[in-house]
């Protein structure tokens, strides 16, 4: 199995048993799922904040449909 350090990028080749490789694969998949879920939450929060600012700008007549008209 070839492992790469996420911090420095160094590679290391190791020999592991099938059961260890399968466990590593499961843990890696679980970690990737957690990262994807965290990214989705962050993106949702960012979009929600942008939407609140956009709505406030519309409510205060800071922008209108003319701001989005194509030339």
Buried b (16+ CB within 10 A) or exposed e, 12-33: eeeeeeeeeeeeeeeeeeeeee
pLDDT at 22: 96
**Tell me: the pLDDT tens digits for 22-58?**
999 999 999 999 999 999 999 999 999 999 999 999 9
Distance CA 32, CA 49 (A): 26
Distance CA 21, CA 36 (A): 22
Using DSSP's 3-state secondary structure scheme, residue 3 falls into strand
Is the pTM for the entire model greater than 0.85? no
Give the DSSP letter of residue 24.
Answer: H
């Amino acid at each position: 199995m070839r492992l790469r350090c996420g911090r420095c990028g160094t590679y290391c080749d190791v020999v592991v048993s099938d059961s260890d490789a399968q466990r590593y694969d499961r843990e890696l998949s679980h970690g990737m799922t957690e990262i994807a879920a965290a990214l989705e939450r962050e993106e949702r929060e960012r979009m929600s904040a942008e939407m609140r600012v956009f709505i406030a700008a519309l409510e205060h007549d800071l922008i209108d449909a003319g701001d989005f008209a194509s030339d």
